[in-house]
Structure formats: C-alpha cells, structure tokens
Structure 1
Amino acid sequence: MLTSHTYKIRASEMKDANQLMELDMLVWDACNSPAPMQWRSRQQYLQYCPPGSQLIAVQEDRVCGYVGFHPPTGMPVNRHVYEIHIAVHPEYRRSGVATALMRAMKQYAMEQGIQKLRLRVLSSNPGAVAFYEQCGFITEGRLVSEFRIGGRDVDDILMAYFLET
C-alpha cells in the first residue's frame, strides 16, 4: 500500500463498486475511449471488474482514481502480461494521483511476476500518450484509422512497459 499526502492506494473492494462505476461514467468519453463506459448494473460491473482487479487511490472514503488490470487473454502463455487502464477523477487530475497509481501498478505487477504492462490509447488523447511516455511506456504499434469518432479518423496506439525481473 502506497500512501501520499492526502490519499492512499489499495486494492479495490466490494464497497468501492458504486464509486468506481460513477467514475467510469464521469471519465470515459469520446476523447479517450471509442465508446463511453456504461454499466447496466452493479452485478455486471462486478463481473467485469471484481474486487482486487484494480488499485485505487482513495482520500478518506472517496475514490480519486484507479488503475485496472487483467491478463489480456486466458491463455497460460500470456499470463506474464497485464493489460491496464487508468482513470482519475477530474477533481484530482494534475495532483500526482495518476503517477502514484502507475508506480503502484508497476510494483504490484513485479510482485505478481508480471513482465509486461500493455495498454491502448487513442491518438486523439495526446495528453495521455505523453503521460504514458513519461512513465516509461513505449509505442509497440499503431492501428491507423481504427476508429471514426466525431467524424474523424482516430488511431489506436498500443503501448507497453517492460518490467525488470
């Protein structure tokens, strides 16, 4: 568990589900996702994001942000990789929450024997691309014009961070 000046980072718990669902609705939009996150129910959310599948930053009892992670496939030959996604509540952006979450994610992944973190980011979100690069991620590939969002072609950028083992 990582503690900062005003928040701590811990694994998600059942009690966090409602706030995490609300954060998804608040954060994910056409600038950073091909489709907004819309959970039909708490049960559906918990099936996709069970407790412990995210590291969350909390201030007192309020969720400030999270980094979700899961193996990209169910194949044993791919279990050394986590696919991740990160979201920070707008009120906590530029406060170090995302950086602390990424640092905690790297540490947690190493403890789990994970060798690679991978993510996808839209070319229409240059701030996120720059953040991931600052965190040491490299571009592995680019799916050109993968999405048409708001009448514009948007690339899907594949990025990775290799953990030292």
Structure 2
Amino acid sequence: MSELTHVQLLWLQGKIENRIRFGRTVQELRLDHYRREVAFAPGSVFAFVRWSSNDYGTVLSRISVLQAVGPGEACATVPFVAPGAAILLQVVGWPKVERVLQQIDAIEALGIDPADVAPDHWWHVQNRMAAGQRPRPYTILRHRAWLHRRSVMP
C-alpha cells in the first residue's frame, strides 16, 4: 500500500473540472487526455476544487482544503481521494467557494504559499463561514508564529 494520498483529476470542457488549486505534488500520472492522478506526501496540505454542470448550468461547486495522511492515520473519505484525507475546510456552493478562493488569493498576495499556512487557519475559515461571519485574514505575523511553532514542536 502506498504511503501517498492519490487524487484523481478529471477535465471535460464545460462539464466537469476536478483540479488542485494549491499543494505540492510528489507524483503525477497522466491517464489520458482527460484524466490525471496526482499524489501528495503525508502531512501535505492541498486544495481540491470540484465543479460540474449540465445543460441548465452549474450543478456542483465545491472546494476542500485537505491534509494528506500517513499509513494507519484516521482520515475522512473524500470522493476522488484515496485512501482519504483530513478535512481542514470544505464548502459547497459557488458563493462560498468564491470566498475561499479569495482567501487563497489574499494569502498568495502576501507571498505565502497556501500549502504552508497553519492548518488551524483553514478550520477558522470553515467555522467563520459556517457561522455567517467574515474570517480573519491570515497575516505575515501569524505565519511566522506558525513556522516557529512548527520548528519547536515537531
């Protein structure tokens, strides 16, 4: 059994798009013109966007910020993700997905890779959005504190 978390990506123009918004892949396999499979090392954080439509418009908009798990670690089942992942954030519906994408853009504007953001920030965003409140922005100071905490507490 692989120690990696595998994500199946699919793209059918105007119908289905499953893609990675951010994250560091360690493996990629092109299955055909429409499908790829990417893999993440345990502990990696990545954003998985799923969108689909039919003849009448958008049917599904979803974004999940996930953390890859190692062998034997508890995980949630997520469609197209094997064996599963820890869910840090998950929202459904274009207005909420758009707000999460704006959060990601704001983090990137600071020069921070969203894959390096403190995992509890994604929980914070999830919880504030669920409560109908605006999430606090991620800051350089908060990021430095997270990097320091991670360096002293492995």
TM-score, normalization by structure 1 = 0.29
TM-score, normalization by structure 2 = 0.30
User: In proportion to residue count, which structure has more strand?
Assistant: 2
